[in-house]
Amino acid sequence: MEGVAMSVHDNRKRRLAKLASLIRRKLDREVSSLARAQQSFCEAVAAEDAMKQQQHVARHNARAKLAAGAQADQWQTEHAWQAKLQAWIDAASARVAKREADVAEARTRVLVAHEDLQRMNALIKRVDGARRVEALRQERKAEDDTYAALASPGPRSTGE
């Protein structure tokens, strides 16, 4: 009976350890996904900053040309270029916002996977504790049975 109880505990512990391993792998994948999302966010921010810098340079050049007496067609070209840059900046800003949301979502998935792993580890500890308590209980029962057998009077011989 004791061997059967131990094998049941061992099987359960093995299954839980396998689940913990799967959850650990999921956590690793989510952490990797978070790192990719953060990298993508940084790239989007850098692209947006580069476009804003380009827009700043374009405005500076337009002011310089205007101060130098630029013709209307030159001003129109500069204005069209600045409008195009603004559209690109708006698109880049939308990409930054999307990447930021992706990072937040990935961070949430990492936290959930981490909590799942912590819960699984706590369950494994509880199962181990229950197995130890059961083993101690069985050991005490065996000791009690041994002491009871020693203390009980055996068959008496009448001496006849």
The mean pLDDT of 10-36, rounded to a whole number, is: 93
The number of folded domains in the chain is 1
Do the Cβ atoms of 138 and 27 come closer than 8 Å? no
- Please give the mean pLDDT across all residues of the chain: 88
Task: Note whether residue 4 is domain-resident.
Answer: no
CA-CA distance, 107 to 34, in Å (whole number)? 6
Q: What is the pTM of this model?
A: 0.71
For residue 69 the two structure tokens come to 């007496």
Q: Is 41 exposed, middle or buried (0-12, 13-18, 19+ CB in 10 A)?
A: buried
Q: What confidence category does residue 102 fall into, taking pLDDT thresholds of 50, 70 and 90?
A: very high
Task: Note whether residue 47 is domain-resident.
Answer: yes
Q: Give the CATH number of the domain where residue 58 resides.
A: 1.10.287.1700
Q: Which residue range is the domain that position 44 belongs to?
A: 13-142
